[in-house]
Amino acid sequence: MTLPYVCLNCDEEVTLDTAAYKLYCSEGCSQEAELVRYLRRCTKDGRIHEPDVAKAIQIRLAAVMAGGYPKQARCIPPKIRAAVIARDNGQCRACGGPGTEIHHINGSSQALGNLQLLCDPCHNKKTMAGMVMVHPDEKLQIKSLLFRARVGAEQPMRICGDEENWSGQWRRLMSEREDELARLVEDKIKNRRPMTKQEKRYWDQLCWRSMSKEEREELEEAQAEADWERDYPEEAAYQPA
Ligand SMILES: [Zn+2]
Ligand SMILES: [Zn+2]
């Protein structure tokens, strides 16, 4: 069964497994669409010529071209942050100046060995360097040409690149997509076709939303009981004489 359901940003088919993003096939596509809208706005109001904005755009663009920036990687728990600052004596590991940013050396691992303290300029430099490591292959060239075309086009080429009307559109699109997803899962259940883990989770979400407060509480209680029986089988089996 083919889903009549494609990514707003790239027309790639969206499966129930990637439906977490609802409107897009991936976090990368969601970020790319967001950047298209942002660039179109900045071009229109002239902010694109401000050095700060230009720098921020350059970094986000490099990230998007490299397939997106892992969002979790940016969030470092305070404990880990403090440990990195202490280990590096508050100094930028690249230039020795006062350090302010925690840099992931490779990938998004939060292990101390993968983190280092840097100052803002050194952090930007390293982030950029890490991203342009992606080879400028044909696919990437096409992607960046397309991107430029989308930003420069008089009329937005895609609904998700429409900087003026997007905020009014996305809610409607989201509920359309959610209805479509619900229909697909229901179809599977009716035809007794096996569901993937993702599909089951989505189905649970749907049921949860359609329940009353009492029904939810009842289910939560039953779930807690089942968990308890699983985790403490001996205590659960104990029958007072
Ligand atoms: Zn996509
Ligand atoms: Zn530095």
CA distances from 203 to 18, 178, 197, 206 (A): 14, 11, 10, 5
C-beta contacts of 25-34 below 8 A and 24+ residues apart: 26/68, 27/68, 27/70, 27/71, 28/64, 28/67, 28/68, 29/68, 31/60, 31/63, 31/64, 31/68, 31/69, 32/64, 32/68, 32/147, 33/8, 33/9, 33/158, 33/160, 33/161
Summarize the confidence of residues 103-113 as an average pLDDT: 79
Flag whether pLDDT at 71 surpasses 80: no
Q: How far is the CA of 63 from the centre of ligand 1 (A)?
A: 15
Q: How far is the CA of 9 from the centre of ligand 1 (A)?
A: 5
Percent of the chain surpassing pLDDT 70? 85
Per-residue DSSP letter, 114: G
Q: How far is the CA of 125 from the centre of ligand 2 (A)?
A: 9
What pLDDT is recorded for position 119? 93
Higher-scoring residue by pLDDT: 175, 117: 117
What pLDDT is recorded for position 137? 63
Summarize the confidence of residues 16-33 as an average pLDDT: 76
Flag whether pLDDT at 1 surpasses 50: no
Q: How far is the CA of 129 from the centre of ligand 2 (A)?
A: 14
Q: How far is the CA of 122 from the centre of ligand 2 (A)?
A: 4
Half-sphere exposure for 183 (CA within 13 Å, toward CB): 10
Task: Note the pLDDT tens digit of each residue in 202-240.
Answer: 788 777 777 788 887 887 787 777 777 877 777 777 776
70-133: which CATH number, 3.40.1800, 2.40.160, 2.30.30, 3.40.50? 3.40.1800
- How far is residue 113's CA from residue 167's CA, in Å, rounded to a whole number? 41
Beta carbons of 93 and 112 less than 8 angstroms apart: no
What pLDDT is recorded for position 27? 79
Q: How far is the CA of 85 from the centre of ligand 2 (A)?
A: 14
What pLDDT is recorded for position 118? 94
**Most trustworthy range by pLDDT among 29-43, 85-99, 191-205:** 85-99
- How far is residue 177's CA from residue 110's CA, in Å, rounded to a whole number? 34
Reported pTM: 0.56
Burial class (CB in 10 A: 0-12, 13-18, 19+), 154: exposed
Q: How far is the CA of 119 from the centre of ligand 2 (A)?
A: 4
Q: How far is the CA of 7 from the centre of ligand 1 (A)?
A: 5
Tell me the one-letter amino acid at 4. Answer: P
Flag whether pLDDT at 13 surpasses 70: yes
Delimiting residues of CATH 3.40.1800 domain(s) in the chain: 70-133
What pLDDT is recorded for position 4? 58
Apex 67 CA angle, 81 and 114, nearest 5: 25
